[in-house]
Amino acid sequence: MGVLVQQLLNVAQLGAVYALIALGYSMVYGIIRLINFAHGDIFMLGGFLGLLIGVHLAWLPVYVMMPLAMVLTALAGVLVERVAYRRLRDANRMSVVITTLGVGIFLENLVRLAVGPETRQIRSGLPTGSVTWLQGHLGVYVTWDKVLIILVSLTLMAVLWLIVNRTLVGTAMRAVADAKDVVPLMGVNLNLIIAGTFAIGSALAAAGGIFYGQAYALDPYMGIDLGWKAFIAAVIGGIGSIEGAVLGSFLLAGVEVTTVAYLSSNLKNGIAFGLLILLLLVWPWGIMGKPAMRKV
């Protein structure tokens, strides 16, 4: 029982980080049908911005440091969209994809040159020690930061859901996703909505990066690996769907944690991808995705 709860919490923690990245992929894809391969590197950048703020502005409390890093990363995401992607908005998809790959390589090397290639860990600033209530009732040793990471991530996802489904901006986003060419005729500023999508996606990725840096470690090239994984999670859930991105992330984390716990950590990627491919062969559009219309 205790082991099971422990593993479930591991799944929740890893899944929360994946979900924070996957949401950015899914939102951008849902709105402008662009797979932003640089998004994994935005996540890495967010983690390092958190690290730098933590090191140089150590007097800032943790609940100021994280929003600050999120705002800075959101600005970076908007800047990337403005400089590199906006002019390619109606180009063919392949040249946009290559641009996103280029932006990704650029960000990786920028961070590596600025911070150095070694792996770093973010000083968490969160209360340490275990949650005694859980230890008393379930007999599991759970650190506070793990619980906080899961709770804050879930809160952020709930806020995103509220923004998309309950506000005017969210309505505009969904409208753009539905009919990009018609919405500007209704007086909606398309550039503003797309920039907003990039900002929200990047801010969530920054939160994921900081959590990842606290729980595991940061290195300039981690964005490729985690970015691909989050992208896969988004596709599994049905890319373009917010609920799907979260579901896919927890599913991927579950498969990974199970493989590491009961088989071998060497087989982690292989088994995770094998199962996920099987899943996609059953649900070709992802679990929550809508089947693409076949136009005749």
Binding positions for another protein, rule: CB under 8 A: 29, 35, 84, 87-88, 91-92, 94-95, 97-99, 101-106, 109-110, 112-113, 224, 228, 231-232, 235, 239, 264, 266-270, 273-274, 276-277, 280-281, 284-286, 292, 294-296
Q: What is the CA radius of gyration of the chain?
A: 19
**Closest separation between CB of residue 6 and another protein, Å?**
26
β-strand partners of 143: 130
Of the pair 145, 219, the CB lying nearest another protein is at 219
Of the pair 19, 272, the CB lying nearest another protein is at 272
DSSP string, 2-66: HHHHHHHHHHHHHHHHHHHHHHHHHHHHHHH----TTHHHHHHHHHHHHHHHHHHTTTS-HHHHH
**Closest separation between CB of residue 116 and another protein, Å?**
11
**Closest separation between CB of residue 244 and another protein, Å?**
13
Of the pair 70, 80, the CB lying nearest another protein is at 80
Of the pair 29, 211, the CB lying nearest another protein is at 29
**Closest separation between CB of residue 105 and another protein, Å?**
4
Chain-centroid distance, C-alpha 3: 27
Of the pair 189, 264, the CB lying nearest another protein is at 264
H-only helix segments in the chain: 2-32, 39-56, 62-80, 93-115, 132-138, 144-166, 168-178, 190-215, 222-237, 242-262, 268-282
How does 230-262 read in b/e, with b if 16+ C-beta sit within 10 Å?
A: bbbbbbbbbbbbbebbbbbbbbbbbbbbbbbee
Instruction: Please say whether the beta carbons of 211 and 154 come within 8 A.
Output: no
Instruction: Please say whether the beta carbons of 236 and 50 come within 8 A.
Output: no
Of the pair 150, 232, the CB lying nearest another protein is at 232
**Closest separation between CB of residue 21 and another protein, Å?**
15
Of the pair 112, 180, the CB lying nearest another protein is at 112
**Closest separation between CB of residue 263 and another protein, Å?**
11
**Closest separation between CB of residue 227 and another protein, Å?**
10
Q: Give the contacts of 11 (CB within 8 A, at least 6 positions apart).
A: 250, 253, 254, 257
